């Protein structure tokens, strides 16, 4: 009887201690106040996100810009702020008390967002995986296999926020469209059909459950567009000299020969900072690294709407309510002089971001480390490829007058 008594006491103490440990291990959810539903999320050093507080969404999830990299995340309201040190695989909860009555549950997640498509490696092929490509104009193209039966011509576009299928190719590829989505591209903002659950193979790399959004702004010989969303947990290298893209798990040793700079992402699309000058005035801004654009660059209303930028840009002429401007830019230590491009009127916004296109970008071999948000550039053999500069502009203007 005595032994039974002590056994019961021991069990009770164990359970009690265990419960206390569980309670003490639980994190107390921080609470901050707000009188406006407008908040800001600062993600690392370069990302600022306008965030709308909504008590109906429980939880309202924000996925960190660089989930694989330890970073400081700060949520700021008009009444307070709360910061977290985010590490991969972890989530962090916050309650924002809106107008003293509505609880808004915000969750910070240092994980891949739901759009992430994981690459399935062929076990017999070690990293780095090599994918040959061709160049048409300045764009990159792969050959691939869709749903294990249809050969496809694929444009690789780091400026694409989603994977797309050409409207002209949908029928021959025998796709099943069971969903719809809203897409913004050069044709504006439109509702589009969506085909989920596809299998795509490019070289020895395979992706399953690939969603394809149908678009009508692709060239007739293009079947698909894929972007950086396929590689967000990898390091990719674009070698224009050998016309090969390599998929790495580790940063290659050759990276020491490249110029390094930080990046951040918008819809998986990398943005990098570039200095440029126009009319003896210096600017510095974050440009989309857009390998899918044939041209040199574009100045969007995200730039022209800031400060006095639109007013200060001196135009050569106005074309379709845009300023045609002449400027110099510096990328990875190389100067590009007399670039001719256009700038958007901030009073007539299009939503298209400021970007560099592949007439310029293809003159660099590229290593993009999606794991820690760094970009490495090195001038390649395409360094003398022509781009839209002032001399070319003058010739085109002279031809129009004849």
154 and 142 both lie in a single domain:
yes
Q: Which residues contact 307 (CB under 8 A, 6 or more apart)?
A: none
**Structure confidence by residue, pLDDT tens digits, 172-220:** 999 999 998 877 767 677 788 999 999 999 999 999 999 999 999 899 9
Please count the structural domains in the chain: 3
Phi, psi (deg, nearest 5) at residue 26: -70, 135
Which of these three, 211, 229, 247, is where a domain ends? 247
Establish if 128 belongs to a structural domain: yes
82 and 171 both lie in a single domain:
no
- Token pair, residue 35, equals 């009188």
Which of these three, 196, 220, 247, is where a domain ends? 247
162 and 189 both lie in a single domain:
yes
Q: Which pLDDT score is estimated for 187?
A: 66
125 and 91 both lie in a single domain:
no
Establish if 168 belongs to a structural domain: yes
214 and 259 both lie in a single domain:
no
89 and 149 both lie in a single domain:
no
Establish if 12 belongs to a structural domain: no
In three state form, how does the secondary structure of the chain look? CHHHHHHHHHHHHHHHHHHHHHHHHCCCCCEEEECCCEEEEEECCCEEEEEECCCCCCCEEEECCCCCCCEEEEEECCCCEEEEEECCCCEEEEEEEECCCEEEEEEEECCCCCCCCCEEECCCCCCCEEEECEEECCEEEEEEEECCCEEEEEEECCCCCCCEEECCCCCCCCCCCCEEEEEEECCEEEEEEEEEEEEEEECCEEEEEEEEEEECCCCCCCCEEECHHHCCCCEEEEECCCCEEEEECCCCHHHHHCEEEEEEEECCEEEEEEEEEECCEEEEEEEEECCCCCCCEEECHHHHCCCCHHHHCCEEEEECCEEEEEEEEEECCEEEEEEEEEECCCCCCCCCCCEECHHHHCCEEEEEECCCCEEEEEECCCCCCCCCEHHHHHHHHHHHHC
Q: Tell me how far apart the 2 most distant CA atoms of the chain are, in Å.
A: 113
56 and 159 both lie in a single domain:
no
Establish if 243 belongs to a structural domain: yes
For position 378, which CATH number holds?
Answer: 2.40.70
Alpha-carbon span 202 to 195, nearest angstrom: 19
In 3D space, the residue among 95, 224, 240, 89 whose CA is nearest the CA of residue 169 turns out to be 224
228 and 97 both lie in a single domain:
no
Identify the domain containing residue 296 by its residue range: 251-401
379 and 274 both lie in a single domain:
yes
**Structure confidence by residue, pLDDT tens digits, 34-70:** 999 999 999 999 999 999 999 999 999 999 999 999 9
Residues 152, 189, 162, 272, CA torsion sign: positive
Q: Which parts of the chain have pLDDT scores under 70? A: 1-27, 185, 187, 402
164 and 220 both lie in a single domain:
yes
Establish if 217 belongs to a structural domain: yes
Alpha-carbon span 235 to 228, nearest angstrom: 10
Establish if 21 belongs to a structural domain: no
Establish if 1 belongs to a structural domain: no
Establish if 61 belongs to a structural domain: yes
For position 161, which CATH number holds?
Answer: 2.40.70.10
242 and 259 both lie in a single domain:
no
Which of these three, 78, 109, 140, is where a domain ends? 109
130 and 99 both lie in a single domain:
no
Our CA dihedral for 162, 56, 25, 6, rounded to 10 degrees, sits at -130
């Amino acid at each position: 009887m005595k032994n039974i008594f002590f056994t019961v006491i021991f069990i009770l103490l164990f359970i009690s201690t265990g419960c206390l440990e569980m309670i003490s291990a639980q994190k107390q959810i921080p609470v901050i106040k707000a009188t406006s539903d407008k908040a800001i999320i600062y993600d690392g050093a370069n990302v600022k996100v306008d965030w709308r507080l909504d008590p109906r969404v429980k939880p309202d999830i924000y996925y960190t810009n660089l989930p694989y990299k330890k970073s400081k995340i700060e949520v700021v309201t008009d009444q307070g702020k709360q910061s977290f040190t985010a590490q991969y695989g972890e989530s962090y909860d916050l309650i924002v008390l809106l107008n003293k009555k509505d609880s808004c549950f915000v969750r910070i997640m240092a994980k891949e967002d739901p759009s992430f498509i994981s690459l399935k490696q062929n076990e017999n092929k070690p990293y780095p995986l090599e994918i040959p490509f061709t160049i048409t104009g300045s764009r990159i193209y792969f050959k691939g296999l869709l749903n294990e039966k249809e050969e496809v011509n694929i444009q690789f576009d780091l400026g694409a926020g989603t994977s797309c299928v050409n409207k002209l190719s949908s029928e021959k590829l025998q796709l099943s469209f069971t969903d719809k989505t809203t897409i913004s591209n050069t044709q504006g903002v439109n509702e589009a059909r969506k085909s989920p659950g596809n299998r795509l193979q490019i070289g020895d790399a395979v992706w399953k459950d690939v969603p394809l959004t149908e678009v009508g702004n692709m060239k007739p010989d293009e079947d698909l567009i894929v972007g950086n969303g396929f590689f967000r947990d990898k390091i990719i290298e674009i070698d224009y000299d050998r016309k090969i893209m390599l998929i790495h798990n580790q940063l290659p040793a050759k990276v020491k020969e490249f110029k390094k700079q930080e990046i951040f992402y918008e819809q998986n699309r990398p943005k990098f900072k570039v200095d440029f000058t126009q009319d003896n005035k210096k600017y510095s801004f974050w440009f989309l690294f857009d390998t899918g654009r044939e041209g040199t660059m574009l100045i969007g209303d995200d730039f022209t709407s800031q400060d006095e930028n639109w007013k200060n840009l001196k135009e050569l002429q106005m074309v379709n309510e845009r300023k045609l401007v002449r400027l110099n830019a510096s990328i990875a230590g190389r100067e590009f002089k007399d670039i001719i491009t256009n700038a958007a009127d901030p009073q007539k916004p299009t939503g298209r971001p400021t970007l560099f296109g592949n007439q310029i970008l293809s003159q660099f071999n590229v290593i993009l480390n999606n794991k820690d948000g760094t970009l490495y550039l090195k001038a390649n053999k395409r360094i003398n490829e022509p781009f839209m500069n002032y001399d070319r502009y003058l010739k085109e203007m002279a031809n129009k007058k004849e």
